[in-house]
Amino acid sequence: MLTSRRRFALLSSTLAGTVAGAGVLAAVVATAASAAAGCRVDYAVTNQWQGGFGASVTITNLGDPIDRWSLVWSYTAGQAVTQAWNATVTQSGAQVTAVDAGYNGAIPTNGTASFGFNGSWNNSSNPVPASFVLNGTSCTGAVGTPTTGAPPPTTTAPPPPTTTPPPPAGNAKQMEDLNRGLVSVRSGSANLVSWRLLGTEAASTGFNVYRGGTKVTATPITNSTNYLDSGAAANASYTVRAVVNGTEQAASEASSPSRTGTSTCRSRHRPAGTRRTTRPSATSTATGSTRSCSSGTRTTPRTTRRRA
């Protein structure tokens, strides 16, 4: 997961985001106010994958209470917002405008409002915006009086949203909340241990395999989510631990009991623009197949599904 954070002190009010397509529509009206205004904005790239990324934006109102808000920023590397929630987001060229969703327009002094969105990028550079404009006032790092602008848009506030984000648009897929799905399948005199690569993990993530409380891998397994444990008892229980930057992470759930018959091979490859996985498996019998299941062997790519 890649996370980029940058905080900004702004002259104005708060923000939010819902969708306006991959990069069209006009900019939204800026807000006027005569009261003292100021705020801090946290823009974070929460995750990033081939061709896409997710981001969250949180604004803290440091000035007088406000009733409505709009936030404007510009991208410098061709990024485009494709979907958003908890605000209405439009984009015209490089300029992006986020307007409150009605139910979150009012922000008291020292209160916050947040929104999130998914976007596309060029797989080369995804810099954080250099500046923001809140309610028509450029970010100056001080509390003051914003310049006069057009009044905020008037809409009827819709009911609050559910806790589940809106379904993805376009070619996006619905994401399931999955765990490692760790299983042990009996194959001859060995156990084939297989698990999932999570959508937040890089394809190069390594894994250590434990039988009971004993580590059975000399070095972390990379580019595979299978391990063939030769000579182990059929009823052995397994866990796996991801290794990130040389540090072993928390243990997974314990494996399901070993089964006899066929064994399921899983790959860790993620197609571009996807996050989490449910996937068809390549199946081979213990007595031979054109696809063998063994330690460190990459097998069939998995189809993945994702949700904002």
* Position with higher pLDDT, 156 vs 65: 65
Q: What is the pTM of this model?
A: 0.39
High-pLDDT (> 90) share of the chain, % = 37
Q: Give the pair of three-digit tokens for residue 92.
A: 């015209």
Q: How far apart are CA 69 and CA 242, in angstroms?
A: 42
Instruction: Break the chain down into helix, strand, coil percent, rounded to 5.
Output: 0, 40, 60
* Position with higher pLDDT, 171 vs 131: 131
- Return the top range by mean pLDDT from 47-51, 166-170, 296-300: 47-51
| pLDDT tens column, 218-244 | 999 998 999 999 989 999 999 999 999
Q: Is the pLDDT of residue 264 over 80?
A: no
| pLDDT tens column, 81-105 | 999 999 999 999 999 999 999 999 9
Count of Cβ atoms closer than 10 Å to residue 108 Cβ: 10
Q: What is the DSSP secondary-structure string of 215-260?
A: E--SS-B-S-SEEEEET--TT--EEEEEEETTEEEEE-PPPEEEE-
Alpha-carbon torsion, ordered 10, 13, 14, 15, to 10 deg: -90
β-pairing, 183-187 vs 137-138, is unpaired
Q: Which helix (H) or strand (E) holds 190?
A: strand 190-194
Using CA atoms, how far residue 159 sits from 51, 244, 259, in Å, is 33, 42, 50
Q: pLDDT value at position 118?
A: 96
Alpha-carbon torsion, ordered 232, 235, 236, 241, to 10 deg: 130
pLDDT confidence of 73, banded at 50, 70, 90? very high
Mean pLDDT of the chain: 74
Looking at residue 244, its amino acid is: V
